[in-house]
Structure 1
Amino acid sequence: MIDRLGWVDRYVAGREDWVWHELRQLGSRVREPAFAPEAQAVCDEMARRARSNIETLVARLREQGYRFHRNDDNQTPTEPHTPPGPGAEEHLHWLEQRLGPVPMVLSSWIRIVGDVWLVGTHPQWPNSAAADPLVLELAGSRYPDSDIRGYFADEFEAWQEDQDTPFLLPVAPDQCHKDNVSGGGAYGVVLPDASADAHFVGEAGMPLVSYLNWAFRHGGFPAITGDEAQWQVIHQLNEDLHRL
């Protein structure tokens, strides 16, 4: 039985897993007027925590001498986090009109977090890009001189020609491409989807919030398999990060 009363209070009190379980049980029913306002409020609180975690990770990595760069041969420097711009609401509206319902967590991410790109190189960890650093580009805020909507539209049109699988909105390069190595398809989220949480498809499929918690537990590098020195870096990065 779903008891929507107190979702936000219970989430803030540390019962995040319980709240997400109930929200996911509802599926598209979460859009019903009885549930939607509080469900969206939970997703917004999730996004505020995620943004705080990202800002903390960026600051800690910079203190450690980490170089944020693109996944190209020149390792072109780039900004790791770009907050939402003034067109965030318009961008969200376009996604919903063009691709169908967007999960509530994506709405919150676009409006509150923006884009994150933690690809780079750590001075104590030359192959850090191979650890699948967190990247999530939904808002297009990292690309002020171009419109990410054109890229999304092209991907959607290509999918419409062969609809054997659900449409994946590409939101990040895969683990190999982050390391500037030819790999597989981009990581993505399934659309359309009227649920609260999104279904993220990366190296494995899982709810987006679960993936983000996994990434933050590993200091933004969920695929780390390194030595003790690298794990010490991770422990310094993930200390006291918020659980989503």
Structure 2
Amino acid sequence: MKDWLTRYQSGQRDVVWHELRLLGQAVRDRADEAQAVCDEMARRARHNVDLIVERLTEDGYRFHANNDDQTPTTAHTPPTDRAEDHLAWMLRTFGAVPMTLQSWVRIVGDVWLVGTHPRWPASASADPLVIEVEGSRYGGDHRGYLEEEYAAWQEEQEGLYELPVAPDQLHKENTSGGAPYGIVLPDPCADGLFTWDGGRMPFVSYLNRVFGDGGFPCFTDADGEWEIKHRLAQDLLPL
């Protein structure tokens, strides 16, 4: 049988992810082969992020923080020269990290698509894609924040620990909301569990859902929204 990466690249993505997930932590017995699939996924995701940011910029989209001042911010920060060190810190601090999340940190970087489209003022309400793991926008403060969150969880020990990677939908639109979206840790499996709005799904499944809607997976029923999303999603690569 052909290896996972060859089959993944030939279009058998769903079958490959199914096999990787079925193995659970036993996937580490074939870690190099599984990591190659996760790295290819991340390269495809990086391609999609670059295209979406380029298209939004062409549209005159304003990328900004989720605050009253709508402070301008960077949409995509590729992995910095501190990415590998940050990943090593995560492994020391939280234990096993899913392979897909490791690939994201090393290949994609931090993504923040919150902002306002000139023809779609409610775009920030459509739950734009945000995945910030290295915390490039926050300088040296991000690790401190994560350590504080983890220490608070260790005191309570309620449920599984979820590494915060994004504000929830309401906070993205600068409205008081709920808990942040996250990734369950520790997790030695190939793909991690993404938590959002009280539910969980595989991280790659979440990303495919988001990219299928051009980076904005929720609908606001605004005029022209479908046309904008359709253009943003055109020719994006399935993961």
How does the TM-score come out when normalised to structure 1? 0.95
Q: 1:223 aligned to 2:218? A: yes
Corresponding residue number in structure 1 for 2:4: 7
Amino acid at match of 1:96: L
CA apart distance, 1:50: 0.4
Gapped regions of structure 1 (runs ≥ 5): none
CA distance in 1, matches of 2:140, 2:173: 24
Corresponding residue number in structure 1 for 2:171: 177
SS in 2 for 1:133: coil
CA apart distance, 1:227: 4.1
Answer yes or no: is the 8 Å Cα contact 1:199–1:207 preserved in 2: yes
Answer yes or no: is the 8 Å Cα contact 2:120–2:222 preserved in 1: no
Corresponding residue number in structure 2 for 1:140: 135
Per-residue Cα deviation, 1:172-210 (whole angstroms, up to 9, x for no partner): 000000000000010001000000001000123100000
Aligned equivalent of 1:61, options 53, 56, 69: 56
Amino acid at match of 1:212: L
Structure 1 vs Structure 2 CA RMSD: 1.0
CA distance in 2, matches of 1:194, 1:232: 40
Corresponding residue number in structure 1 for 2:32: 37
* Structure 1 segments (4+ residues) deviating >4 Å: none
CA distance in 1, matches of 2:219, 2:42: 24
Answer yes or no: is the 8 Å Cα contact 1:80–1:116 preserved in 2: yes
Corresponding residue number in structure 2 for 1:71: 66
Per-residue Cα deviation, 1:136-195 (whole angstroms, up to 9, x for no partner): 00112222x323111111111000011120000000000000000000010001000000
Between the aligned residues of both structures, percent identity stands at 59
Amino acid at match of 1:121: T
Answer yes or no: is the 8 Å Cα contact 2:66–2:171 preserved in 1: yes
Aligned equivalent of 2:234, options 215, 233, 239: 239
Corresponding residue number in structure 1 for 2:16: 19
Gapped regions of structure 2 (runs ≥ 5): none
Amino acid at match of 1:20: W
Corresponding residue number in structure 1 for 2:154: 160
CA distance in 2, matches of 1:83, 1:140: 11
Per-residue Cα deviation, 1:68-117 (whole angstroms, up to 9, x for no partner): 00000000000100000111111101100011100001110000010000
Instruction: Trace 1:78-157 onto structure 2 (pairs within 5 A).
Output: 78-143=73-138, 145-157=139-151
CA distance in 2, matches of 1:142, 1:45: 25
Amino acid at match of 1:6: D
Answer yes or no: is the 8 Å Cα contact 2:122–2:222 preserved in 1: no
Amino acid at match of 2:184: V
Amino acid at match of 2:127: D
Per-residue Cα deviation, 1:3-55 (whole angstroms, up to 9, x for no partner): 7x4100111011110110000001111111xx111100000000000001000
How does the TM-score come out when normalised to structure 2? 0.97
